[in-house]
Amino acid sequence: MSDGTELPAIGQGTWYMGEVPGEAEREADALRLGLDLGMTVIDTAEMYGSGGAERIVGRAIKGRRDDAFLVSKVLPSHAGRSKIIKACEDSLKRLGTEAMDLYLLHWRGRVPLAETVEAMERLKRDGKIKRWGVSNLDTSDMEELINTPNGEECVINQVLYHLGSRGIEYDLLPWQRRADMPIMAYCPLAQGGSLRRELMGHPDVRSVAERLEATPAQVLLAWVIRQGNVLAIPKAASQEHVHENAAAAALHLSDEDAERLEMAFPAPSRKVPLEMV
């Protein structure tokens, strides 16, 4: 990151955690295992499970706060100077910590970016967050943000990115490389449904996986992080999937592997709207 902080290329997502009370301990155990395996970035949001996911994260990191790099997100409706302080404090209570490592604007709403930046900087001065970033902002939004007072303090943009969703490669990803700002990729294995099944079952994905003695999911994760400036945050609520995700960080795709995958799922040749789920 721009402040010199080094993070593992694969972290842990928590979308849909904290919604079923009977699953709470299993989900917390999965996050703890991920920490043990070096996936120290845990991403959550006040929106996930109406705070339930943050409570799961708080349970998982209890007694080992220093092992985790905590990321949470504020809803756009709470991103103004009159609401963001309370939203952040509520998230901190649910997480059971005094400060967040990274706080993100979940997506752009009606609150002016300048007002959100001002509030984020206040949270930094107050010691409640260590750094801040954004999520689901496209290139024009990022350009506006950087030209806002203190907007250059933004350290990351979290967006949808996987082999079947490559629209950011047209302009957003190159823009962020030039700005020395990493991408955090959510849903790096796609968000379930037919597209995920298509990716996992595609003959070229499976062929590369067989050559590398890996799973299709590991190949897809390795593709997302292959260039070094993208951090993937797949969700895994089972220990088997946690081990699978962690091992993907050591998987090396050759140029031929990457070319084969990218020919099977080509990037758009023109600007397309930023995809969100």
Q: Residues 249, 275, 48, 102: is their CA dihedral positive or negative?
A: positive
- Residue 234: DSSP 8-state: -
The two tokens of residue 29 are: 């155990």
CA 90 to chain centre: 21
Minimal CA–CA distance to 185: which of 248, 112, 237?
248
Q: How far apart are CA 88 and CA 93, in angstroms?
A: 9
Residue with tokens 């997480």: 95
CA 154 to CA 81: how far, in whole Å?
A: 17
What span, in angstroms and rounded, lies between the C-alpha atoms of 198 and 131?
A: 37
CA dist 116 and 98 (Å) reads: 21
Active site residue 170: no
Alpha carbons 181 and 223: distance in angstroms, whole number: 19
Kindly name the residue from 48, 103, 161, 186 that is annotated as catalytic. 48
Would you state the structure tokens that stand for residue 69, as one six-digit string?
């790099």
Taking phi over 0 as left and psi of -120 to 50 as alpha, with beta for the rest, 193 belongs to left
Residues identified as active-site: 48
